[in-house]
């Protein structure tokens, strides 16, 4: 084995925001496996330790840093151009979802990677968590029979609805991408993975229910800082409450969470805007109905106004049912009415004790024991998978992983086409 194959994979990070920092943390935790050799970001590059910095992704790639992997964690609209440029230069990619904002661009990226034998692994971190991998393993064991239907809800959490769907980077589809692609490509990825089949047709409805200009209270200002106290103090959506309040659930999105920095966020950035005075045009609730090959049906509810940011799932099979609340799986086997509850909190034993009931399941689930990163360990497990494929993956394995993200994107584009056309059924090619 040569020195390069033995040493850490060298990588550059394009976009040092929330996601860039999440992946770069892997190099700090596992310096023997990953080394960050360059970072590009106009504002936050230095939040990631690196020997070299650039202010823009293009300048960085033009310098052709000696690296094998590029993390593309830029705003959605920049993914396509950055991905094509980096692939053209021969870099493998960990490309945040969405791959790109149109179907044609997504296909171009995948085709180019395949032609060059390079890896494009997408930020679909959920399939790399124990919880979701265990659902896959239970289905694959065959103990519960065939999957007939899936009812799944992606609850954004009311605080994230205001942050992401109204004030923030994903509120305007033209500036980023359709919200059903942005938020739910994860969910479509799970469905296609669990079922191991392709989606045939899709129909969808959704709209903006609350964050509309006509709902702005009389006398409310454009920014929360300027709003009369009589209105601002009673407002659920007050930016002061969301970002400066003791119960703020959004601080983790920012590199600098000092009081001074967060006050600047409220005072100077888009996150300080009144939720009724933004340029948001993406739905705050959307439903998608899907039919997969073989007839299994799936319904997805994307709901903005919920207490928690969590995914819940009910999977009906011919011989049993799986019900998940985001951390615990409740399984029922109809033949003997036997039930099990598998906890995925820190003390959860996982599937191992159930190996006899679900043959093969305990072994087939990747056992990402680590909860050392966000998304239940999924962020780091995804990086581990990327590094493994780059060092040991066959060309076929790399191609299979590169192509697997396309299906989720095609479902999302079809759902958006349907929603914009009054819910018409869209057939997937
Ligand atoms: N996989 C997931 O679960 C998940 C979660 C959130 C976001 N995302 C995706 O990750 C990507 C990044 O999202 P984020 O939440 O980290 O956003 P972010 O705004 O925190 O980070 C994006 C960074 O890109 C930088 N940037 C902008 N223009 C640049 C340029 N020309 N050159 C270099 N850097 C530039 C910005 O300054 C910012 O720091 C998005 O595509 C988003 O859809 C994925």
**Phi, psi for residue 426 in degrees, rounded to 5:** -110, 125
* Chain position carrying tokens 């820190």: 346
Mean pLDDT, residues 75-80:
95
Name the token pair of 272: 């300080």
Lowest mean pLDDT among 80-89, 142-151, 248-257: 248-257
Residue partners of 201: CB distance under 8 A and separation at least 6: 290, 291, 414, 425, 426, 427, 428
* Ligand 1 centroid from CA 19, angstroms: 6
- Residue 351: pLDDT band (50, 70, 90) is low
| Percent above pLDDT 90 for the chain | 82
Assign residue 117 a region: left if phi > 0, alpha if psi is -120 to 50, beta otherwise?
left
pLDDT per residue as tens digits for the range 207-228: 999 999 999 999 999 999 999 9
- The stretch 389-409 carries a mean pLDDT of 96
Contact 107, 403 (CB under 8 A): no
CB neighbour burial string for 390-408, b if at least 16 within 10 angstroms, e if fewer: beebeeeebbebbebbbbb
Residue 366 — very low, low, confident or very high, per pLDDT cuts 50/70/90? low
Pairing of strands 320-324, 310-317: antiparallel
Residues of the chain with pLDDT > 70, as a percent, come to 92
For ligand 1, is residue 270 a contact (CB within 6 Å)? no
CA distance linking residue 92 with residue 425, whole number of Å: 36
Q: Which atom of ligand 1 is nearest to the CA of 54?
A: 33
In whole angstroms, what is the distance from residue 58 CA to residue 63 CA? Answer: 9
* Ligand 1 contact, 96 CB (< 6 A): yes
Q: What angle do CA 99, 101, 105 make, to 5 degrees?
A: 70
Query: What domains appear along the chain, each with residue ranges and CATH number?
Result: 3-122 (3.40.50.720), 127-210+281-368+400-427 (3.30.360.10), 213-272 (no CATH)
- Ligand 1 close to Cβ of residue 57 (< 6 A): yes
Q: In which residue are the tokens 């409805």 written?
A: 205
Instruction: Tell me the best of 12, 14, 18, 94 to mutate to test the pocket of ligand 1, counting ligand atoms within 8 Å of each CB and taking the most.
Output: 18
- Name the residue with tokens 């086409």: 417
Q: What is the pLDDT of residues 302-333, one digit of tens each?
A: 999 999 999 999 999 999 999 999 988 999 99
Check pocket membership of 311 for ligand 1, CB cut-off 6 A. Answer: no
CB atoms within 10 A of CB 255: 15
DSSP letter at 217? P
Report whether residue 185 contacts ligand 1, using a CB cutoff of 6 Å.
no
pLDDT-derived band at 1 (thresholds 50, 70, 90) equals very low
């Amino acid at each position: 084995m040569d020195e390069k194959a033995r040493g850490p994979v060298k990588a550059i990070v394009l976009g040092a925001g929330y996601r860039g920092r999440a992946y770069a943390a892997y190099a700090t935790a596992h310096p023997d496996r990953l080394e960050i050799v360059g970072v590009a970001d106009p504002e936050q590059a230095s939040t990631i330790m690196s020997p070299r910095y650039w202010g823009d992704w293009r300048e960085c790639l033009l310098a052709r840093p000696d690296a094998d992997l590029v993390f593309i964690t830029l705003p959605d609209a920049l993914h396509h151009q950055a991905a094509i440029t980096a692939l053209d230069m021969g870099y493998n990619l960990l490309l945040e979802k969405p791959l790109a904002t149109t179907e044609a661009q997504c296909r171009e990226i995948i085709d180019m990677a395949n032609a060059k034998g390079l890896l494009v692994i997408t930020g679909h971190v959920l399939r790399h968590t124990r919880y979701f991998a265990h659902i896959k393993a239970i289905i694959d064991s065959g103990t519960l029979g065939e999957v007939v239907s899936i009812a799944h809800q992606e609850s954004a959490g009311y605080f994230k609805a205001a942050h992401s769907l109204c004030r923030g980077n994903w509120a305007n589809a033209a500036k980023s991408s359709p919200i059903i692609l942005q938020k739910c490509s994860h969910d479509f990825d799970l469905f296609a993975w669990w079922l191991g089949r392709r989606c045939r047709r899709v129909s969808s409805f959704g709209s903006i229910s609350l964050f509309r200009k006509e709902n702005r209270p009389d006398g409310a200002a454009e920014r929360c800082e300027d709003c009369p106290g009589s209105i601002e103090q009673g407002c659920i959506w007050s930016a002061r409450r969301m970002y400066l309040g003791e119960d703020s659930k959004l601080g983790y999105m920012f590199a600098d969470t000092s009081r001074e920095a967060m006050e600047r966020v409220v005072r100077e950035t888009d996150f300080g805007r009144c939720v009724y005075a933004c340029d948001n045009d993406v739905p705050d609730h959307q439903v998608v109905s899907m039919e997969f090959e073989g007839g299994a049906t799936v319904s997805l509810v994307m709901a903005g106004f919920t207490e928690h940011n969590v995914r819940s799932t009910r999977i009906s099979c011919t011989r049993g049912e799986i019900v998940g609340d985001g951390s615990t799986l409740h399984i029922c086997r109809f033949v003997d009415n036997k039930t099990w509850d598998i906890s995925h909190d820190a003390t959860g034993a996982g599937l191992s004790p159930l190996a006899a009931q679900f043959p093969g399941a305990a072994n087939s689930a990747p056992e990402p024991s680590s909860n050392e990163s966000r998304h239940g360990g999924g962020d780091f497990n995804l990086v581990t998978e990327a590094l493994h494929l780059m060092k040991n993956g066959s060309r076929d394995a790399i191609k299979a992983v590169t192509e697997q993200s396309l299906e989720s994107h095609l479902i999302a584009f079809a759902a958006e086409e349907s929603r914009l056309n009054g819910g018409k059924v869209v057939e997937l090619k």
